[in-house]
Amino acid sequence: MLVVGNWKMHGSKAENESRFGLLAARLADSPRVGAVVCVPFPYLAQAESALGASSVGLGVQDISAQATGAYTGEVSAAMAADFGCGYAIIGHSERRSNHAESASTIAMKAKRASEHGLVPIVCVGETLEEREAGRTALVVTTQVNEVLDLLPEAGPQNFVIAYEPLWAIGTGKSASGAEAQQVHACIRASLCGRAKRLKAVRVLYGGSVKASTAADLFRQPDIDGALVGGASLDAEEFVQICLAASGVTSAEA
């Protein structure tokens, strides 16, 4: 199980300090779940020093598709790795829509992440219109395959998918466990059809996950964790989601 917090463009040095402290202390003994936080770039140094000795992993929310050079404002995979990052969110729907990221750019970013030892967390998901038109399975498996075409070495250790239906992101309207499972099963079948070794690739669910909805999602056979936006800004709520993933109820924590 893997639970990843996406802080988006939130935080300040003061706020982060208390969040990092709480996460490091409360997640110290949760061996069955990997917890990762993806912070804004300016806070990587602070995160590395606060979490470096803890069991909480560090990631970024995006990286450049370029390796190095005259690309003003961009941050490379090598730079993220230099700050101790182990993960990079790639192709989040906010990047796809606000920055017009194409399939080839997203695949290239995933490749750059892999080249520098970062595990790409590749986000896929359908719009409400696509869902209503019965195109969900086609849309998400196409998005996965566009990236895998450029990553022949992808496997369970170095590649993660996050299924994030666009209608559930930041809306408070999470897919139910059963709804999400249907799509996760499609993704799993498509991975298996491509190569046997891809069967164990982790497929996270993202979209308005909260502590109160996490257990229903995590008990589904093809849901291997969560990508959490808004709720990850509340450190205690994020901890509760991680504990749900590790099978520990809040009463036991």
Q: Which stretches of the chain bind ligand PEP, using CB under 6 A?
A: 6, 92, 164, 169-170, 206-209, 227-231
Distance between CA 242 and CA 52 in Å, rounded? 19
Phi first, then psi, for residue 163 (nearest 5°) are -85, 115
Catalytic residue list contains 74? no
Minimal distance in Å, beta carbon 92 to ligand PEP? 6
- Residue 252 CB neighbours (<10 A): 7
Nearer to ligand PEP, 6 or 181 (CB): 6
Q: Which of 126, 146, 164, 237 is catalytic?
A: 164
Minimal distance in Å, beta carbon 60 to ligand PEP? 13
Catalytic residue list contains 92? yes
Minimal distance in Å, beta carbon 99 to ligand PEP? 14
Residues 6+ apart with CB under 8 A from 235: 18, 19, 22, 23, 26
Nearer to ligand PEP, 43 or 238 (CB): 238
Nearer to ligand PEP, 45 or 240 (CB): 240
Q: Which of 92, 94, 101, 184 is catalytic?
A: 92
Q: Are strands 56-60 and 2-6 parallel, antiparallel or unpaired?
A: unpaired
> Strand locations in 14-93, DSSP E?
34-38, 56-60, 87-90
Minimal distance in Å, beta carbon 227 to ligand PEP? 5
Nearer to ligand PEP, 3 or 231 (CB): 231
Q: Measured at CB, which residue is nearest to ligand PEP?
A: 229
Q: How far apart are the first and last CA of the chain?
A: 17
Nearest 10 degrees: Cα torsion 187, 189, 192, 198: 30
Residues designated as active site = 92, 164
